[in-house]
Amino acid sequence: MRGGNTNFMKKRKILVLLPFLAGLVIIGCKHLPEEQQIIPGTTIIPIQSITCSEDTIYFQQQILPIFQSNCAQDDCHDAQSHEEGIVLDSYSNIINTGDIEGGNLNAGHIYESITQTWGDDAMPPDNPLPQDQIDLIADWIMQGALNLSCDALLCDTLELTFSGDIQPLVAAFCEGCHTGSNAGGDVKLTNHAEIAAAGANGSLYGSVAWEAGYTQMPQNGSQLTECQLRMIEMWIENGMPND
């Protein structure tokens, strides 16, 4: 009996320790999500999702679409062309190949190029960025050039207007490809008449919603958020007012 009790106690101790040991294994093997890992040897800062603020510039929603729409195109600064070794299709590439430093507008050539209005170094070469987008990029750099994200930003379906919601959305995600003499697919989206025409024939919503039969837009970019798609859909359903 005494030997049996001893074996019983040993087994009980093992059973008690198993959950504890399993916890150690789980803790020891736990990894951060990929988007929260900093790759050694780079200046990448992980995406930080925080509460929205009107005083903060959010790279994922406000800055990245400008670069993707106006710069990360064929024969320019996409991953395949990488003109002068500069790729402007993601946060890591924009920071590293563009030599951007938070708080320093003079670092690299990105800000200098987008503020030039003529010459070979002026970018984009055919369609300069509007001043409000240049100012937005400048504010982002001066705020530290952080990789911030805020899903609720630029997405309000309660007081929807063309001038306050739809036009800025199209300007950020689409206008870079759909303006000037070389507009993609010969489709221009620079004013209410042009955007409303695309809305009326179904190509605007079909493209950004990635519906079958339409080219997925934004080109080389991520799909618009559900709320942004709903904004465009509601504007079209409301008769596409020019308000």
The residues, any chain, with a CB within 8 Å of residue 210's CB and separated by 6 or more, are 216, 223
**Euclidean distance between CA atoms 215 and 207, whole angstroms:** 6
Instruction: Please tell me the pTM assigned to this model.
Output: 0.58
Helices (H) and strands (E) in the chain, counts: 9, 2
pLDDT attached to residue 226: 82
**Euclidean distance between CA atoms 24 and 88, whole angstroms:** 42
**Euclidean distance between CA atoms 84 and 89, whole angstroms:** 14
pLDDT attached to residue 32: 32
The 10 Å Cβ neighbour count of residue 33 is 8
pLDDT attached to residue 48: 53
Q: Is the dihedral of CA 151, 107, 114, 207 positive or negative?
A: negative
pLDDT averaged per 10 residues, the chain (length 243): 44 40 35 34 48 83 84 67 74 89 90 80 79 93 92 64 88 77 77 93 92 85 81 93 94
